[in-house]
Structure 1
């Protein structure tokens, strides 16, 4: 097909949930660069600076309440492709893990139901994570993973929707090394930045590097290759497999600061960062105990099969951008 013929085809409408967030914003940017799609971004505040910037680029920005099923159905109207994502930690921060799981599951189900009644829909991409509770046989429940996996199970009960679905797992974001329990802290009397973690430095880590860039590349590739990615396939979005110790080495190299890795217990970790320590630490403990098996609940494929490479930004390069930004 010639370029002229392609340009005469009607553009597919892609609806992106969380359009001003890290994952959704990444998808918007990648598809804007392609130029072949009409884009509708869902946000809670279309008047925000970030929303207005996307509007100026030609994105249709609308508001929708993921807790309201009818609102989501209206937001998905006429969509050919939907990228769906939730924000577990927003509810977690104010209401704790149990309520956050309930809200995340309800929002995920609302989006799945809305997708199932969108007659124009061709492709539903759901950003999710494997159930640590299932993988560990109940030993390592991790609410922010387990709630998303429950939505997977709901989708799988709808054969018609499952045929249009791709499940997207994402590895550790480089950005998390700016979070309180994952940023090395200066111990002045030692003159070193100490990283207190509830797992040994040898613990395997699957990372996506810069999620604000890489999620978009993965979703773009998923959309462009439906024969490979439809019918309930799982895509694991990563840039590299490394270790906790290596992540600290990267941080030390980028900042120029001397560091020390200290392995503490999960109980101590949670005392330092109540509630958050247990949530994050339980996930890390699962990685330590089960290694690659902590991501093995489904057969999945990744960057190589999708033909991705140099465009992806790895963990160290992502840290360079994050730690040298004006906000740090």
Structure 2
């Protein structure tokens, strides 16, 4: 009997590759990956592992319709930060939400589809009564709303919230920086060090485990259920101390204003600074707002088989980054 087909959007990216790795190890599905450049080295590496690689662009609905043909399951993800870097936040929201709606439209036209996983984020604007509208949340929330109004697609959809990446400290707005006069590495943040953080830990190691568990248990994860993918509960300050232990560096957490944070990292500082202020204000309520949210325990995932944030940090080559 032929295996059912799982199509993974953005198969050469972190989320897509994590699911492909998990699916290949599991062996239940035949795996197809979409990518904008089907001739890239990363695409060829997937082919060498037995993955069917097809060209498709999230900006082109028809290319997605063709790529999804015959799929029993589709994993959909978009990248806010590519258009954000090029065009700024307002245009990036417009572009990413259009891309996500293209994915949804293509999924709804896939006659063979049984399960659609949409990688998204909580509705911070709704949770805060409109006080915090974080662009990379807003874009995905618009796609959520589109899916919910398509009853047939909504019945086949699981909404996947992927929490804080354990390797985010490699990125400028989160990276601890050396203060030469003290020898300490300082991390600036608009949030207090006690701000609760749910972390996916290693994104490459763990996202696929959650996605595959979702696909294995449709009676739990459909119709229209939300899954919060995290492997540990920590705090902003604790994550920095974990980083210090991994790197052997003295790490100091410094809370600062949104204006000062934005001045240090133009554009990126505002995007990430507002997010952290929202997390600090909402605290445990940030990953809420939907009915019956499922976690790793509901999916039967053991923390022992997952890599936590400290483990994700330990996997990185910090000598090249410090």
Q: Same fold (TM over 0.5)?
A: yes
**Equivalence for 2:305:** 311
What is the CA-CA distance between 1:66 and the residue it aligns to? Answer: 1.0
Residue of structure 1 aligned with 2:198, choices 196, 201, 206: 206
What is the CA-CA distance between 1:79 and the residue it aligns to? Answer: 0.7
Answer yes or no: is the 8 Å Cα contact 2:170–2:321 preserved in 1. Answer: no
Aligned counterparts of 2:70 and 2:254: Cα–Cα separation in 1 = 53
Give unmatched runs, 5+ long, in structure 2. none
**Equivalence for 2:129:** 137
Note the aligned Cα RMSD (angstroms): 1.2
In the alignment of these two chains, the number of paired residues is 320
User: Superposed, which structure 2 residues align to 1:1-328 within 5 Å?
Assistant: 9-299=1-291, 300-309=293-302, 310-323=304-317
What is the CA-CA distance between 1:319 and the residue it aligns to? Answer: 0.4
Answer yes or no: is the 8 Å Cα contact 1:78–1:120 preserved in 2. Answer: yes
**Which secondary structure state, in structure 2, belongs to the residue aligned with residue 313 of structure 1?**
coil
What is the CA-CA distance between 1:261 and the residue it aligns to? Answer: 1.0
Q: Which runs of 4+ in 1 moved over 4 A?
A: 324-328
What is the CA-CA distance between 1:327 and the residue it aligns to? Answer: 7.2
* 1:265-305 Cα deviation digits (max 9, x unpaired): 01100000011011111111111001111111113111001
**Equivalence for 1:6:** none
Aligned counterparts of 2:92 and 2:100: Cα–Cα separation in 1 = 12
Structure 1 residues 251 and 239, CA, compared in 2 at 3 Å: closer, same or farther? same
Aligned counterparts of 2:297 and 2:287: Cα–Cα separation in 1 = 17
The worse-fitting range, judged by mean Cα deviation, of 184-193 and 130-139 is: 130-139
Aligned counterparts of 1:108 and 1:295: Cα–Cα separation in 2 = 21
| TM-score, normalising length: structure 1 | 0.95
Structure 1 residues 232 and 70, CA, compared in 2 at 3 Å: closer, same or farther? same
The worse-fitting range, judged by mean Cα deviation, of 41-50 and 164-173 is: 41-50
Aligned counterparts of 1:87 and 1:305: Cα–Cα separation in 2 = 28
* 1:202-239 Cα deviation digits (max 9, x unpaired): 11111100011111000110011110001000000001
Structure 1 residues 22 and 122, CA, compared in 2 at 3 Å: closer, same or farther? same
Aligned counterparts of 2:40 and 2:319: Cα–Cα separation in 1 = 22
The worse-fitting range, judged by mean Cα deviation, of 317-326 and 161-170 is: 317-326
Give unmatched runs, 5+ long, in structure 1. 1-8
Aligned counterparts of 2:260 and 2:321: Cα–Cα separation in 1 = 30
* 1:68-99 Cα deviation digits (max 9, x unpaired): 11111111111110000000000000100111
Structure 1 residues 103 and 31, CA, compared in 2 at 3 Å: closer, same or farther? same
Aligned counterparts of 1:167 and 1:184: Cα–Cα separation in 2 = 32
| TM-score, normalising length: structure 2 | 0.97
